[in-house]
């Protein structure tokens, strides 16, 4: 591997890492040399995932906590830094979806989506940046979405939260750059993950994806991996405040 993309010696926390895009990113980061700290809410699943990475000779640890629990976040991040001696990167990936027409969308469900998708990355970044500032720098990568600049019926909370993630990313990039902390986001298009199982099994929706996306297919989870490695590596040493779309061309087609 080119030294530009090597993550040797880096300690990186990935939230929502037990499945889907989070797992794909975590696996790639570990393969690139990072000590990856997997986060999710199920300790047993995380333990199994960490063992799978270690079985390949890669560095892995697990830290189970709910990203929407502010007290848990404020305990976990310093604990990770103390256990590993530092914290070089954070990928704030954990997210939820809720589909309902506006007239049927409960306020509590809107708040739950925003708390997970937007408030949690804010809290995670705040706590991680404290550690990173003391050690002279670090990288934060948020998971945004093509459903930030775009819109789609029945997912108003998701669209609002992911648009907020992109704006939060830009704001934090400006604020944290003087402390040596770079903040970027990855905006996935339609990927065949567990969260989208109902959609991938819907033949009509899959035909829509094939028509709407220039590459004419769903994304595969492993295809998000390179973006995560790039933004965490020295290859992205002058990149901050950027939202990197990984969407098969969906957002550039009229």
202 domain-assigned: yes
Among the options 23, 58, 110, 158, which is catalytic?
Answer: 158
- pLDDT at position 196 is 83
Q: Helices 156-176 and 107-114, interaxial angle, to 10°?
A: 30
12 domain-assigned: yes
pLDDT in tens, the chain (254 residues): 679 999 999 999 999 999 999 999 999 999 999 999 999 999 999 999 999 999 999 999 999 999 999 999 999 999 999 999 999 999 999 999 999 999 999 999 999 999 999 999 999 999 999 999 999 999 999 999 999 999 999 999 999 999 999 999 999 999 999 999 999 999 999 999 887 888 889 999 999 999 999 999 999 999 999 999 999 999 999 999 999 999 999 999 98
- Report how far residue 39's alpha carbon sits from residue 99's, in angstroms, rounded to the nearest whole number: 25
Q: What burial letters (b/e) apply to 57-71, b meaning 16+ CB within 10 Å?
A: ebbbbbbbbbbbebe
39 domain-assigned: yes
Total H helices, total E strands in the chain: 9, 7
CATH of the domain at 232: 3.40.50.720
253 domain-assigned: no
Q: Which residues pair with 91 in a beta bridge?
A: 14, 141
- Report how far residue 200's alpha carbon sits from residue 191's, in angstroms, rounded to the nearest whole number: 9
Tokens representing 105 are 């969308």
22 domain-assigned: yes
Give yes or no for a contact between 188 and 146, defined as CB atoms under 8 angstroms apart: yes
- pLDDT at position 147 is 96
- Report how far residue 27's alpha carbon sits from residue 221's, in angstroms, rounded to the nearest whole number: 11
- Report how far residue 16's alpha carbon sits from residue 38's, in angstroms, rounded to the nearest whole number: 8
Domain tally for the chain? 1
134 domain-assigned: yes
In this structure, how many other beta carbons lie within 10 angstroms of the beta carbon of residue 134? 12
Q: Which residues pair with 162 in a beta bridge?
A: none
Give yes or no for a contact between 89 and 36, defined as CB atoms under 8 angstroms apart: no
- Report how far residue 205's alpha carbon sits from residue 200's, in angstroms, rounded to the nearest whole number: 7
57 domain-assigned: yes
Give yes or no for a contact between 164 and 114, defined as CB atoms under 8 angstroms apart: yes
Report the residue count for the chain. Answer: 254
- Report how far residue 120's alpha carbon sits from residue 207's, in angstroms, rounded to the nearest whole number: 34
254 domain-assigned: no
- pLDDT at position 1 is 65
Supply the range of the domain harboring residue 133.
3-248
End-to-end CA distance of the chain: 37
> Residue 238 catalytic?
no
């Amino acid at each position: 591997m080119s030294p530009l993309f090597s993550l040797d010696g880096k300690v990186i926390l990935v939230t929502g890492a037990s499945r889907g895009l989070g797992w794909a990113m975590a696996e790639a980061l570990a393969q690139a040399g990072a000590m990856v700290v997997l986060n999710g809410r199920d300790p047993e699943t995380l333990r199994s995932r960490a063992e799978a990475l270690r079985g390949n000779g890669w560095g892995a640890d697990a830290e189970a906590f709910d990203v929407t629990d502010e007290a848990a976040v404020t305990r976990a991040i310093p604990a990770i830094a103390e256990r590993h001696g530092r914290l070089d990167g954070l990928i704030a990936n954990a997210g939820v979806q809720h589909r309902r027409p506006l007239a049927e969308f409960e306020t509590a469900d809107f708040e739950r989506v925003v708390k997970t998708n937007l408030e949690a990355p804010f809290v995670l970044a705040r706590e991680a940046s404290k550690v990173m500032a003391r050690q002279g720098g670090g990288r934060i990568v948020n998971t945004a979405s093509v459903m930030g600049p775009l819109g789609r019926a029945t997912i108003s909370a998701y669209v609002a939260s992911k648009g907020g993630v992109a704006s939060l990313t830009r704001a934090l990039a400006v604020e944290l750059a003087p402390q040596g902390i770079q903040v970027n986001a990855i905006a996935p298009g339609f990927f065949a993950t567990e969260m989208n199982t109902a959609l991938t099994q819907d033949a009509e929706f899959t035909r829509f994806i094939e028509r709407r996306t220039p590459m004419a297919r769903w994304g595969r989870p492993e295809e998000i991996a390179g973006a995560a490695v790039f933004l965490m590596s020295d290859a992205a040493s002058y990149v901050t405040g950027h939202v990197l779309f990984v969407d098969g061309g969906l957002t550039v087609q009229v």
